[in-house]
Structure 1
Amino acid sequence: MRTATRILLLLTAFGLAGPAAFAQKTYLHCGRLLDVRSGRLLSQQTLVVERDRIVAVQAGYAAGGAQDQVINLENRTVLPGLIDCHVHLESQQSRASFAEQFTLNPADIAYRAQAIALTTLRAGFTTVRDCGGSGVNTALRKAVAQGLVPGPRIYSAGTAISSTGGHMDSTDGLSDFMMDKLNPGPAEGVANGPEQCRQAVREQFRRGADLIKIASTGGVLDLSKDGTGAQYTEEEIRAVVQTAHDLGMPVACHAHGAEGIKRAVRAGVTSIDHGSLMDAEAIQLMAKSRTWYVPTLIAGKSVADTVRAHPGYFPPVIAAKALNVGTQMQGTFGRAIKTGVRVAFGTDAGVYRHGQNAKEFGYMTEAGMSPLNAIRTATLNAAELLGDPQNLGALEAGKYADVVAVEGDPLQDISALTRPSFVMKAGKVYVGQ
């Protein structure tokens, strides 16, 4: 025994033993397991996890070996880790948001983003698509992937891109002096004309972005006077899409107004995010082209509710846009799903308080989507939008061990998803047992 122990200690010291050589399995005993593909709730199932992967899904409560761990989820409903395809991990909307762009340093943003990432993970969202920040989002992606800080798996858009005066132009509403002094260009996410648009895409590629995010219309929470009009030509959007695709990156497009949506869809963007004021023609075009729709209903609800409840919270120009755009998003969503537009879950987290992402499910079902299909938008559909269905989106052998458990049955009470009692990401438990 002493000789064997010495050998084991020596092997461990030289990195030749440990988890890789003596792999411990984790057995999750699931009272109810949601098969998102078939839509069935399976009783008394066991998920077998080894390292970061699911290696088996077995009927009944399987027993492991002496070295294995068993986690009792027998009184809970178990489903895949949830995916939010539109978050902003660097920021949290508040009365101080405008001033913070002049007072926070990258290190300040990074510390806050780390805390937000953990909040998001603990809310049951094991993977997110960060749709625009300062570049800290890309650094955070690296830190999470390297195990330096806890957080969801991140797909980062780096810095998003718009036209001069568009949603990403940080000088909107500032004095002429500040506009001239800052004068953002392609490197800062402000690009005009096809050549500058190509340059802006290449800049984000150089900085390590996973995808490109553009704005083909104005936005709500900026100081420009209108959030609905088209702000890029179809030629400019095509330049973005072609360059991004050449570099192996999809394109997410922030768009509220119908014309900006139609131009972006015709130009070949991967997703329309928000889609607030889609008309019938835009909806039909979306359905025909199979463009993904990421609706972010909670963001629209949040800003409109804030305007009503807290007069003066937003400047008048933002308050007017919030009431116009935010109040129409849920109705648009209801019309779009009836036409067969493909939906992937996204919330615009940061516009509302991080960690409340799952409230989006309730707004989706209020508009006519079934609870099962709402869950599919945050699992199977989101995995497909991210381009990684082989690793994400279902509780199946070979996929990442991203697992969420809730009390009750979310197919009967979708609000159960707002109260996760167990969260595992890549085989590591972050909430409960």
Structure 2
Amino acid sequence: MEDVLLDNATVLDVRTGELLPDRRVLVHDGLIAEVGGTEVAASGARVVDLAGKTVLPGLIDAHVHVTAVTADLAAQAEWSPNYVAARSGRILRDMLLRGFTTVRDVGGADYGLAEAVAEGLLPGPRIVFGGKALSQTGGHADLRHRGRLAFDQHRCCPSMGVVCDGVPEVRRATREQLRTGADHIKIMLSGGVASPTDRVDSTQFAIEEIRAIVEEAEAANRYVTGHAYTAAAINRGLANGVRCIEHGNLLDDTSLALFREHDAFLVPTLVTYHQLAAAGLDYGLPPESHRKVDDVLGRGLDALRRAYEAGVNLVYGTDLLGGMHPHQLGEFAIRAQVQPPIEVIRAATVNAARLLRMTGEVGEVIPGATADLLIVDGDPTTDIGILDGSRHEFVMRAGQLHEVRG
């Protein structure tokens, strides 16, 4: 891999929010070797003159489903896994070209896709995967309609979850995902939009089941993240060791106190509800699921505002399905309605890196970090619209530069 010297760069220090002009960034062997001024030089390196453009860390999306190639997840479970993998490859490539260099898949992706990207067989962001999400019978990852009894839990089935009930079953299911190399375990703590038979305001899994899942994950030095909307579901998870909550649209003050007490993370996914409401039916979302979107759409932004004001650890996520994946960058503008731009950028960089336990490896433009970089034309700390993709110039993933503009 050739060395690359990014010259005449303006580097964004995401921790301080400061823009550092007239910088050079030297990339060697896929890592950031140096960041500095004219003293940074490398004989034989490929020099890229950025003419003052802004270098920020490659973006991190901590809530994706790269195998969700349609919004009709129940139908997809019947498809060929090879076909789903092929379509996932296109989703991954497009994510990378939007500037996302790391994604956390919280239901669907496995070690095969992660290794295909790591080996360069598929272009895309590195995948931090959790395998299949765990659901109780009738829970958010149980996608059977009421008249269907059979449930195919084969590992090759392109579904996003497995169904397990009772402490012995949830322990076994957790161990199975960990056996494949899962970085985290995703559990369904409440009902959701895309599932056909549960209510959004339901709570799922018994306390002893949640505790058993957390215990197994922690034994493997991994953590549990939980899908939850209501305060009741959120609080049950946080009080019993769940480290991260996905969505959280219907949280309350008791939830905010628990987030702070446990130093837990919240990953809102506001853009997906806007897209599901506007175009979900066009992309395969079943009508019974579409009717549930309004249950969570209206309160999501206020929940984000309250969590930000309360000092909760906030991380960027999108949760888009099927043909709605191209709106992945839309989360920036939505969050900027209630947060300063630099805080939204931190959610997609250093905050996400801490959740993924990759601090110092990704999410910052510092020596020793992986050379995951996004180059944009303008200052996103004053105009978050610069991160809508139209002014992206290049993305670098582990030292490999891709031109994305135009």
TM-score w.r.t. structure 1 length? Answer: 0.87
Moved more, 79-88 or 185-194: 185-194
Q: 1:28-427, aligned counterparts within 5 Å? A: 28-60=6-38, 62-65=40-43, 67-94=44-71, 97-102=73-78, 104-133=79-108, 136-171=109-144, 173-175=145-147, 178-179=148-149, 181-182=150-151, 189-306=162-279, 314-350=285-321, 353-366=324-337, 368-419=338-389, 420-427=392-399
Task: Provide the rounded CA distance (Å) in 2 between the counterparts of 1:351 and 1:312.
Answer: 7
The one-letter amino acid paired with 1:232 is F
Mapped partners of 2:77, 2:282: distance in 1:
23
- String of CA shifts for 1:110-134, please: whole Å, max 9, x gaps: 111111111101110000000101x
Measure how far apart 1:352 and its partner are: 6.4
Contact 2:200–2:295 (CA<8 Å) still a contact in 1? no
Residue 161 of structure 1: SS of its match in structure 2? Answer: strand
Residues 63 and 103 in structure 2, CA contact (< 8 A), matched pair in contact too: yes
Number of aligned positions between the proteins: 399
Query: Is the helix fraction higher in 1 or 2?
Result: 1
Residue pair 1:123, 1:356 contacting (<8 A) in 2 also: no
Q: Secondary structure at the match of 1:256?
A: strand
Q: CA deviation at 1:31?
A: 3.3
Q: How far apart are residue 351 of structure 1 and its match?
A: 6.2
* Counterpart AA for 2:13: D
Amino acid at match of 2:246: D
Matching residue's letter, 2:399: G
CA contact (8 A) 1:302 1:352 kept: no
Q: Give the Cα–Cα distance (whole angstroms) in 2 for the partners of residues 237 and 248 of structure 1.
A: 16
Provide the rounded CA distance (Å) in 2 between the counterparts of 1:192 and 1:328.
31
Structure 2 Cα separation of the partners of residues 396 and 31 of structure 1:
14
The one-letter amino acid paired with 2:363 is: G
Deviation at 1:311, TM superposition (A): 9.1
Q: 1:149 to 1:306 in 2, by over 3 A?
A: closer
| Alpha carbons of structure 1 residues 110 and 418: separation in structure 2 relative to 1, 3 Å | same
The residue type paired with residue 221 of structure 1 is A
Look up the equivalent residue of 2:20 and give its one-letter code.
L
Contact 1:36 1:380 in 2 (8 A): yes
User: Partner amino acid for 1:58?
Assistant: G
Superposed CA offset, 1:366-391 (max 9, x none): 1x211111101111110000011021
Per-residue CA distance 1:201-233 (angstroms, 9 max, x = gap): 001112222211111001101101412211122
The whole-number CA distance in structure 2 between the counterparts of 1:384 and 1:109 is 31
- CA deviation map 1:318-342 (0-9, x unaligned): 1221011122211111111111111
- What residue ranges of structure 2 are gaps of 5+ in the alignment? none
Aligned to 2:289, the other structure's residue is in SS state: helix
SS where residue 383 of structure 1 aligns?
helix
> 3-state DSSP class of the match of 1:231?
coil
Paired residue type of 1:120: M
Going from structure 1 to structure 2, the CA distance change for 1:236 and 1:185 (only over 3 Å counts) comes to: farther
Q: Which amino acid aligns with 2:5?
A: Y
Contact kept? 2:65, 2:319, Cα under 8 Å: yes
8 Å CA contact 1:233–1:263 kept in 2: the answer is no
Moved more, 56-65 or 419-428: 56-65
- Could you tell me how far apart the structure 2 residues matched to 1:247 and 1:63 are? 43
Aligned-partner SS, 2:53: strand
Q: Cα 1:199–1:352, aligned 2, differ >3 Å: closer, same or farther?
A: same
Greater shift in the superposed pair: 147-156 or 80-89? 147-156
Verify the 8 A CA contact 1:216 1:261 in the aligned structure 2: yes
Contact 2:25 2:36 in 1 (8 A): yes
CA distance in 2, matches of 1:413, 1:163: 44
Change (3 A) 1:265 1:185: farther
Q: Describe the shift of the 1:312–1:392 C-alpha distance in structure 2 as closer, same or farther (beyond 3 A).
A: closer
Percent identical across equivalent pairs?
36
Q: CA deviation at 1:42?
A: 0.6
Which secondary structure does the structure 2 equivalent of 1:140 belong to?
helix
Amino acid aligned to 1:70: V
Equivalent pair of 2:15/2:350 in contact (CA under 8 Å):
yes
